[in-house]
């Protein structure tokens, strides 16, 4: 067989580990792999490179993706859809492994509906793909956010300030939840909950009264109501570029204005997406990449490799795409146990 592999959507640590696993698992059974460049764009425009085992040597622990990525919707027009099918035929691809989040996997599902032999691997630092316990990238990104929070604690403590850390997370607050829980934040704001300013101000006041400073973690996806920011910029899938809203900076302004406590904010943005994957993500990406190849070899096209409990298994793309896995009430309840 001839495998194709692509990495689409926002990059995250672990993509190279997954690509390596696909190439080496396929090679073990004597199959060749071609890497498409920049996600679905490479399939649409027929841009690829051969991926021999030697090409993936040493990439397991490297951040980013050697294949490049983009947020390209390959089914944006009938012409593009035809180009995709033509490339796969021209390149004689027997099995395509699409590594990505909801948008990339939705495109894989569409390709499968049109007869394409495709399997998926979920990735995203947002951890919001349904049907899998975790996505790789999430633990690495959350470690970066936690490190940032610990640094902010030092300076907040020295200056007796309130500091707001803004982290990524489009519809789901998993990164904020993990950072707030693991870092002992005084308040953590998730997109899953309505924003109540009076509650936030209370927590900040209590924390400052108790120990002289306050730490707030805010997910970029929270809705603060009317605020400055946002240029209205959107990506190819129509998603608002949330970072432009700068909710962390807005929160710091509001806290300072309402309480008189000197406040600062930090937006760590894409820093969370770079760097080496942590051990958990390396292993998860490796397992899922290998599982995707096994799914293809056993004719389970239209499925996506996921982690469920201790096992990696295939579930249908229909189960995995179309709805975000958001933070559940039990996690929210645990989180608020530790609010100031």
Catalytic sites, residue numbers: 126
Q: Which residues between 100 and 119 bind ligand F6P (CB under 6 A)?
A: 101
Tell me whether residue 339 is exposed, middle or buried, using C-beta atoms within 10 angstroms of its C-beta: 0 to 12, 13 to 18, 19 or more.
middle
Which token pair is 214? Answer: 């306050």
Contact 40, 73 (CB under 8 A): yes
> Would you count residue 126 as binding ligand F6P (CB under 6 A)?
yes
> Would you count residue 125 as binding ligand F6P (CB under 6 A)?
yes
Determine the interface stretch with ligand F6P among 13-21, 26-34, 162-170, 178-186 (rule: CB under 6 A). Answer: 162-170
Q: For the CA atoms of the chain, what is the radius of gyration?
A: 21
Interface pattern 6-45 for ligand F6P (x via CB under 6 A):
----x-----------------------------------
> Would you count residue 242 as binding ligand F6P (CB under 6 A)?
yes
**Using CB under 6 A, which of 106, 124, 179, 188 touches ligand F6P?**
124
Minimum Å gap between C-beta 39 and ligand F6P is 12
Contact 176, 148 (CB under 8 A): no
Specify the residue for token string 């499968």: 112
Helix or strand run (H / E) with residue 153: helix 138-159
Nearest to 259, CA basis, from 305, 189, 200, 219: 200
Minimum Å gap between C-beta 125 and ligand F6P is 5
Contact 333, 324 (CB under 8 A): no
Which token pair is 60? Answer: 């397991």
Between 197-211 and 247-259, two packed helices, what is the crossing angle to 10 degrees? 70
> Would you count residue 169 as binding ligand F6P (CB under 6 A)?
yes
Q: Which residues between 182 and 241 bind ligand F6P (CB under 6 A)?
A: 220, 235
Specify the residue for token string 């298994």: 313
Minimum Å gap between C-beta 128 and ligand F6P is 8
> Would you count residue 168 as binding ligand F6P (CB under 6 A)?
yes
Minimum Å gap between C-beta 123 and ligand F6P is 10
Minimum Å gap between C-beta 229 and ligand F6P is 13
Considering the complex, state which of residue 271 and residue 332 has its C-beta at the smaller distance from ligand F6P: 271
Tell me whether residue 136 is exposed, middle or buried, using C-beta atoms within 10 angstroms of its C-beta: 0 to 12, 13 to 18, 19 or more.
buried
Phi, psi of 14 (to 5 degrees): 115, -15
Determine the interface stretch with ligand F6P among 72-80, 122-130, 152-160, 204-212 (rule: CB under 6 A). Answer: 122-130
Considering the complex, state which of residue 58 and residue 322 has its C-beta at the smaller distance from ligand F6P: 322
> Would you count residue 137 as binding ligand F6P (CB under 6 A)?
no
- Binding residues for ligand F6P (CB under 6 A): 10, 101, 124-126, 168-170, 220, 235, 242, 273
């Amino acid at each position: 067989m001839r495998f194709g592999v692509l990495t689409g959507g926002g990059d995250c640590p672990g993509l190279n580990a997954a690509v390596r696993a696909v190439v080496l698992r396929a090679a073990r059974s004597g199959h060749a792999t071609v890497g498409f460049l920049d996600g679905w764009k490479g399939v649409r425009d027929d841009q690829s490179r051969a991926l021999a085992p030697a090409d993936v040597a040493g990439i397991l622990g490297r951040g980013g993706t050697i294949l490049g990525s983009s947020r390209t919707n390959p089914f944006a027009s009938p012409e593009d859809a035809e180009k995709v099918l033509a490339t796969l035929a021209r390149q004689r691809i027997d099995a395509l492994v699409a590594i990505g989040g909801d948008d990339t996997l939705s495109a894989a599902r569409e390709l499968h509906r049109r007869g394409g032999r495709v399997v998926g691997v979920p990735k995203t630092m947002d951890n919001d793909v349904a049907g899998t316990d975790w996505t790789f990238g999430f633990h690495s990104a959350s470690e970066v956010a936690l490190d940032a929070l610990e640094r902010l604690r030092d300076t907040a403590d020295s200056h007796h300030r309130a500091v707001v850390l803004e982290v990524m997370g489009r519809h789901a607050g998993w990164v904020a939840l993990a950072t707030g829980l693991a870092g002992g934040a005084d308040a953590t704001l998730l997109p899953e909950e309505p924003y109540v300013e009076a509650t936030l101000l209370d927590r900040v006041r209590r924390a400052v009264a108790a120990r002289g400073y306050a730490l707030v973690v805010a997910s970029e996806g929270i809705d603060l109501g009317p605020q400055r920011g946002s240029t209205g910029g959107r990506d190819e899938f129509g998603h608002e570029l949330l970072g432009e809203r700068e909710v962390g900076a807005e929160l710091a302004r509001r806290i300072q204005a309402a309480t008189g406590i000197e406040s600062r904010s930090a937006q760590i943005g894409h820093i969370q997406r770079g760097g080496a994957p942590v051990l958990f993500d390396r292993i998860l990406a490796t397992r899922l990449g290998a599982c995707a190849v096994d799914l293809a070899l056993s004719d389970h096209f239209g499925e996506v490799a996921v982690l469920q409990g201790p096992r990696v298994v295939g579930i249908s793309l229909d189960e995995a795409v179309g709805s975000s896995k958001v933070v559940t009430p039990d996690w929210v309840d645990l989180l608020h146990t530790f609010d100031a």
